[in-house]
Amino acid sequence: MDVTKRLAATLGAVLLVLGLLDGLLWLTVEGAPFLLEPHELREPGMVLAKLQALERQADDRPTVVTTGSSVVFGRAMERHGDDAWQDHTLAAELSKQLDAKALNLGMDGMLPTDIEAVVELLVRRARRPDLLVFDVNLRAFSADFADGAAQVSRPWLRELAGLAPLGNSSDPVDLHPAATLERSLHRFLVDHWSLYQLRSSLQERLFGGGPGTRLAAGWRQLNDRLRPPPKLTDKEVEEQTFEDELSLIMKTKGRLATAALDVEHPQRDALVRSLERLAAAGQRTVVFYATENPYLAPQLLSERQTRDMRDQLKALVDRHGGEAVTYVPPLPQLGASRFLDPSHLDAEGHRVLAEVVAAAFRPTLEEG
C-alpha cells in the first residue's frame, strides 16, 4: 500500500511540475516573435505554434502568410553567402512594404498538394490572415510528382489539415490500427500540450535544430577533425560549383520535359481545389508565378512550350480563383542578375517581387 501511495504521490508531483511548466511556456513562449522567424518545418507542432504566434501579436497591423516552394522559403540565399537571408525573404520584404505581420510557411520542395493543406488550415481558423501569398511553377506539374508517395512532400501536413491521403500515396503501414492510434495521440498532444507543441521550435531556437540534426553536425565535425578533407584549389572549387549548377539545370530540364497542365494530374487537381476553397471562403490571396532565370529558361524548355503552359496556368487561376485571388504573371523586371540559379532569387530579387505582390494587395488594404 505504501508503494502505491508513493507511486501516486510521485505521479502527482510529476503531473504538477509538467502542468506548471506548460503554463509557463504558454505565458512566455507561445506568441513569441522568434516563432515568426523562418525555419525548416519538420512537424505539425511547428506549424501550429507559428500560426498561433501570428494571431497573438498584439497590434493592429495586417497579417500576411506566405507559403510555397523554396522560392518562398528563401534559404537558397544562405547557401549563396547571404547570412542575413531571413531578413530578405518574400515574407520579410512584405512585412516592410505593407507594415504587416508576416509569417513564412515556405518549405523546400513544397508542391500544390502541400499548399492545399496550408490553405485548408488557414481558412478553417477563426482568425484568418488578411493576405495569403503562394507561388506556382511549371516544375510541380512534372510526371515525377504524379504518382505514389511523390505526390506529396510532407504527408503530415495533409494529415494536420484533416485532408484525406491522395490515391496510392500512403504507406500500407499507416493503415494499421496501432499507427492510427499513434497519430491520434500525437495530434491530441500537439493540440493540447504546449511543451509537446513547442519542442521542435525551442530546439530550433536554442540548438539550431533537433537532436538528430545536432548529432549529425557533431559527427561531421569530429570526422573532419580526425580526417581533414583535402583542401581544394580555387580552380577545383570553381569546377565543383560548375558541376553542381549543371546537375541542377539538367534535373530541372528533365522535370520540365514531362510537365503538363492539360491532362489529369494530382498537382493540377490540388491547385484547382485550393483556388476554389479560397474563392468560396473569400480569402484574399495573391498567387505569383515563380519566374525562371531568363538566361537559363530557353535551355530548360522551348519558348513555345513555356508560353503555352504559362497561359494555361494563368487561365486556371483566373477561372477557379474568382475575385478573391489575384494572379501575378512572370516578372520581366527580374533579370538574370537577380537569380542565384535557375529559379531562386537574391535579396534584391525578393524585394522587387514583394513590391509587385504588395501593389496587388494594397488597394484592398486601403479599402479595409
- Torsion sign across C-alpha atoms 288, 292, 293, 294: negative
Cell digits of residue 367: 479599402
Kindly report the length of the chain: 368
**Residues 254-267: pLDDT tens digits?**
888 899 887 789 99
Instruction: Indicate if the pLDDT at residue 359 is higher than 90.
Output: yes
Helix, strand or coil, per DSSP, at residue 328: strand
Answer whether residue 106 shows pLDDT above 90: yes
From CA 94, how far away is CA 358, in angstroms rounded? 7
Q: What is the mean pLDDT of residues 140-150?
A: 92
Mean pLDDT value of segment 298-312: 91
Q: Give the gyration radius of the chain's Cα atoms.
A: 23
Strand intervals (E) in 81-155: 101-106, 131-136
pLDDT range class, residue 232, cuts 50, 70, 90: low
Torsion angle of alpha carbons 33, 206, 46, 155, nearest 10°?
150
Domain layout of the chain by residue ranges: 59-192+228-367
Instruction: Specify the CATH number for 59-192+228-367; select among 3.50.50.60, 3.40.190.10, 3.40.50.1110, 1.10.10.10.
Output: 3.40.50.1110
* pLDDT band (50, 70, 90) for residue 283: very high
Q: What percent of the chain has pLDDT over 70?
A: 83
According to DSSP, the β-strands at 131-136 and 63-68 are parallel
pLDDT of residue 221: 73
This prediction has a pTM of 0.86
